[in-house]
Structure 1
Amino acid sequence: MSDQIRSMCKSLRLAYVSEIYDSIPFESPSQFLEALFKEEFRLREKAKVQRLIKNARFLDSKSLSNYEWTERIRFPTQIDKDGLMSLDFIKLKQNVVLIGAPGTGKSHLATGLGRKACELGYEVRFYRVSTLIEQLEQALKQDKLPSFRKKFEKVELIILDEMGYLPFSKEGSELLFQLIADWYEQKSLIITSNLEFSQWNRIFIDSRLTAALVDRLIHHAHVLTFNGGSYRLSNALSRAR
C-alpha cells in the first residue's frame, strides 16, 4: 500500500485497513469493501474491549467461562443466575453484594461479571477496598480529592473487593462513604465481603455512618450469600492427599 493511501486511511481514522486489505478475498468491489469494513469494525471492537479491560485493572484474568456455579450460592428472589449474567442490573443502576467466607468464589464471580461488562462496552473499575481507601487518603493529603472523585464520572460499574477484611480509620471510612454517596443511584456497584451487614460496624467504627452506608448500598441491591467452606482450602487439601 502506498504512503498516500496509508496517509488517507489515517486521516479517515481507518486504523486497520492498511494492515488487512491484502488479506481480504476479492470477489467483487462491493463484496471486498463490505468484508474490509466489517473486519475494520471487528478489530476496533476488539481493541476497545482490550482497552476497557486494561482500564478496569482487574487483579487476575478470571472470567465467567471458568466459574464454578454451585448450590452453595443463595440467590435472592428477584434475580437468578441468568438474570445476573445478563448484567441488566448495570442498566438499572442496581448493586450486587456478594457475602460469604473467604475462598468461596466471590472475587472470581465479581471479576467475571466485570470482565463481561467490559466485553459489552461498559466502563468498569476494580478496587480492593483497602487500596481505594489508601488512594482516597493520599488524594486528600495532596489536596487532589475532587480530581480523584472526578475520575469516576464516566465509569458505569465499580467493583469493591474484600470489604471487611481490614478495618478503616475514621477518616478513611468517611471518605469511602462520601464516594459511595456520590455513586448512589448513578452507578452500579459489585461488593464482596466476608461480613454480614450487621457486622460492618467492625470496619466503619461509626454506627450511624455504617447504617447510612448500608442503607444506600442495599436500597437497589441483589444480595447473594455464599455458604460453605473455602474452595481454595478444599482444593489444597485434595492436592495434598
Structure 2
Amino acid sequence: MSEQIDPVQETIMLYARQLRVPTFPNYEQVIRQLDPGEGYDRFLLELMKIELKQRQEAGQQRRIKKARFPYTKTMEEFQYERLEHVSKALINELASCDFISNRQNIAMIGNSGSGKTHLSIALGMKACYLGFNVRFFTAMNLANELSEALQTHRLSKLEKSLAKVDLLIIDELSYLTFNRHQSEMLFQVISERSERASVIITTNLEFSRWTELFENELLIAA
C-alpha cells in the first residue's frame, strides 16, 4: 500500500515553491532540533536561518560561476612564503576585501611562480563569498574579447558589463604585447574603473617597464 501524502504537507510544499522558500517543507527537522517548550517564534527563527543560509550559499556559487576562474584557489591554501617583501599581515588585510569597498586597486608584481595568480583567484573567491561580483580574465583573453567585440559591434555592451563588476581581475598582463587598438581598449576598461570599482592586475614587469605592454606611452603616463 502506497504511503498517503498529508494534504497539509502537500499544501506547504506547494506554497513553499510559490513563495520560493525551498527549505520550509523541511520544518519537521527544525522541530526535532528544538528544545521542549521553545515557542513558535524560535521555530520560525530557526527555519528562516536555514533558508537564509541556503540562499547565501547559492548566491556564492552563482557569483563564483559568473567570475569564470580557471580553477579554484583559497586563502587557506596560499603559501605565504612564496611572496617576497610582502607580509602575511598585509595579505590578511587584503583578504578582508575592504579594498573593494574602498574602490582601491592592487598591482601584483613578481616573477613567474611567485603565487600571483593563486592569490588573485583566492582574493576573487573570497570577494564572491562576501557578496561582491567578480570577473577574471587573462590579459590575452580580455584583449581578444575586446577585439572581437569591436569587430561585431558589441564593444559598448562588453564595456558596460565589465563596468558593473565590483572586482575585475586581469592576470598575466606582461606575457604578451598588445597592438595599438587592444592597448587602448584595455586601458579604457581600466581607466573607466578609476575610483569607481576595483582592479587586480598581475604582472612580472615593474612599473618602469609598463611601456612594453602598451604602444602609447601617454597611456602609461596617465
User: What is the TM-score of this pair, normalised by structure 1?
Assistant: 0.81
Question: Does the alignment pair 1:109 with 2:122?
Answer: no
Equivalent residue for 1:8? Answer: 15
SS in 2 for 1:70: helix
Equivalent residue for 2:209? Answer: 199
Question: Does the alignment pair 1:61 with 2:72?
Answer: yes
SS in 2 for 1:102: coil
Query: How big is each residue's C-alpha offset from its partner over 1:110-156, in whole Å with a ceiling of 9 and x where there is no partner?
Result: 11111111111111111101100100000000011111111124311
Q: Give the strand-richer structure, 1 or 2.
A: 1
Equivalent residue for 1:38? Answer: 49
CA–CA distance in structure 2, aligned partners of residues 5 and 84 of structure 1: 45
Q: Which blocks of at least 5 consecutive residues in structure 1 are unaligned? A: 213-241
CA–CA distance in structure 2, aligned partners of residues 11 and 168 of structure 1: 51
- Number of aligned positions between the proteins: 209
Query: How big is each residue's C-alpha offset from its partner over 1:182-238, in whole Å with a ceiling of 9 and x where there is no partner?
Result: 1111011111001111112122122112222xxxxxxxxxxxxxxxxxxxxxxxxxx
Task: Determine which structure has more spread, i.e. the larger CA radius of gyration.
Answer: 2
Counterpart AA for 1:70: E
What's the CA shift for 1:83?
2.0
Query: How big is each residue's C-alpha offset from its partner over 1:74-105, in whole Å with a ceiling of 9 and x where there is no partner?
Result: 249xx823322222111110011100111110
Question: Which of 6, 26, 30 is residue 24 of structure 1 equivalent to?
Answer: 30
> CA 1:80–1:211 in 2, change beyond 3 Å: closer, same or farther?
same
> CA 1:154–1:7 in 2, change beyond 3 Å: closer, same or farther?
farther
Equivalent residue for 1:174? Answer: 184
Do the aligned residues in 1 keep the contact of 2:24 with 2:51 (CA within 8 Å)? yes
Q: Give the helix-richer structure, 1 or 2.
A: 2
**RCO higher in structure (CA 8 A, sep ≥6):** 1
CA–CA distance in structure 2, aligned partners of residues 13 and 72 of structure 1: 46
User: What is the TM-score of this pair, normalised by structure 2?
Assistant: 0.87
Question: Does the alignment pair 1:99 with 2:77?
Answer: no
Do the aligned residues in 1 keep the contact of 2:163 with 2:193 (CA within 8 Å)? no
What's the CA shift for 1:176?
0.5
Do the aligned residues in 1 keep the contact of 2:146 with 2:155 (CA within 8 Å)? yes
Moved beyond 4 Å, runs of 4+: none
SS in 2 for 1:185: coil
Let me know the Cα RMSD of the aligned residues. 1.8
